[in-house]
């Protein structure tokens, strides 16, 4: 009986120590699960301030904003799943970032922008601009709170300490990814396997119109373009090339070569590298044929000139001899 009492006392002591350790080490985490409403007008996005609850715990803070039901509040008002992970700078501590993963399943975006609100203060806050007239579900493993500045719950603008006043927005920021990841830092992919991008990729712009759209210069050791229909048909016997007089008249009228886009067209629509190379090669091949023809004509003229020079020389000698005989 005494042994059982000793064992129970030891167990109780160790269990109490374990609970204390879990409490101070963060094993016991605060939970946030609440619904908040952004008032105001539906055509505006209002600043909602979230605290960086884990700043003093030396780890990032994460929360999700969700609207599973597209008909919540009213029919077809919008559905969204957005996850934010962040660490504020808190007046210059440098390891700050805001990473977002937004999936907006409605036509109209419900998030317009976000920003770290602690560049010149230590308030541990970020701001997310959310569409007015809707309710949002907030979840976090930390004690995250949402303060809405919509002139209903709190007055506008939100006065950022030693920063700019934060008003409502009427347009979505260009850097908001409506359906995917938006990271503050850079990316390194060190695997040797294949990386797949199904949609268009933009470098230096957010609205790429092709599989790869670059707003800037490209540096490469070599570029290979797959082409079909190279213009070797120019050398076929039946090919009709533009005569030089016709070419001269065309250039005088249009100020560019036939089939080659004008300067205005190229500046407006750009040029397709593969197609342009084919056109330039065709012009070079046709020019080569013209040069060959002119070379043949020149040889013919040279032969005629040599023949005429011989005849003229013979006539000159005959005249000279005749004059000499008369003397």
Domain ranges of the chain: 32-182, 225-327
Beta strands in the chain (DSSP E): 32-38, 45-51, 61-67, 80-87, 97-104, 111-116, 125-131, 134-140, 146-148, 158-159, 165-166, 179-182, 201-203, 212-214
Strand 45-51 relative to strand 61-67: parallel, antiparallel, unpaired? Answer: unpaired
CB 165 within 8 A of CB 157: yes
First to last CA, the chain: 167
In angstroms, the CA 122 to CA 52 distance is 11
- Stated length of the chain: 327
Average pLDDT, the chain: 88
CA-atom Rg of the chain in angstroms: 39
- The two structure tokens encoding residue 71: 């008909």
> pTM higher than 0.85, yes or no?
no
pLDDT at position 19 is: 46
- CA atoms 314, 320, 326, 327: torsion sign: negative
Q: What is the pLDDT of residues 194-246, one digit of tens each?
A: 999 899 999 998 889 999 999 999 999 998 888 888 998 999 988 888 899 99
List of residues 6+ apart from 220 with CB closer than 8 A: none
Query: Which of 31-40, 133-142, 298-307 is predicted with the least confidence, judged by mean pLDDT?
Result: 298-307
More confident of the two residues 223 and 29:
223
The CA–CA distances, whole Å, from 153 to 40, 48, 65, 185, 327 equal 10, 11, 19, 34, 131
């Amino acid at each position: 009986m005494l042994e059982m009492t000793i064992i129970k006392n030891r167990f109780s002591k160790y269990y109490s120590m374990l609970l204390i350790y879990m409490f101070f080490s963060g094993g016991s985490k605060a939970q946030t699960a609440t619904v908040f409403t952004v008032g105001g007008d539906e055509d505006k996005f209002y600043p909602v301030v979230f605290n960086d609850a884990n700043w003093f715990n030396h780890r990032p803070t994460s929360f999700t904003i969700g609207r599973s039901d597209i008909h919540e509040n009213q029919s077809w008002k919008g559905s969204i799943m957005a996850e934010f992970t962040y660490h504020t700078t808190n007046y210059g501590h440098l390891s700050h970032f805001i990473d977002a993963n937004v999936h907006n399943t409605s036509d109209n975006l419900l998030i317009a922008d976000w920003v770290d609100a602690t560049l010149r203060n230590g308030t541990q806050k970020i701001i997310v601009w959310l569409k007015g007239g809707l309710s949002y579900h907030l979840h976090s493993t930390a004690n995250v709170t949402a303060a809405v500045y919509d002139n209903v719950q709190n007055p506008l603008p939100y006065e950022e300490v030693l920063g700019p006043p934060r008003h409502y927005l009427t347009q979505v920021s260009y850097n908001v990814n409506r359906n995917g990841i938006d990271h503050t830092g850079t990316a390194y992919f060190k695997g040797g396997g294949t990386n797949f991008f199904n949609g268009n990729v933009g470098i230096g712009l957010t609205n790429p119109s092709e599989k790869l759209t670059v707003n800037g210069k490209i540096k490469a050791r070599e570029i290979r373009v797959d082409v079909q229909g190279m213009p070797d048909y120019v050398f076929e016997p039946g090919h009709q090339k533009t005569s030089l007089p016709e070419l001269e008249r065309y250039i005088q009228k249009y100020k560019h070569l036939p089939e080659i886009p004008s300067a205005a067209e190229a500046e407006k629509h750009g040029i397709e590298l593969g197609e342009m190379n084919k056109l330039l090669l065709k012009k070079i091949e046709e020019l080569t044929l013209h040069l060959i023809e002119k070379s043949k004509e020149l040889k013919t003229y040279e032969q005629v000139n040599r023949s005429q020079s011989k005849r003229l020389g013979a006539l000159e000698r005959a005249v000279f001899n005749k004059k000499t005989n008369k003397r």
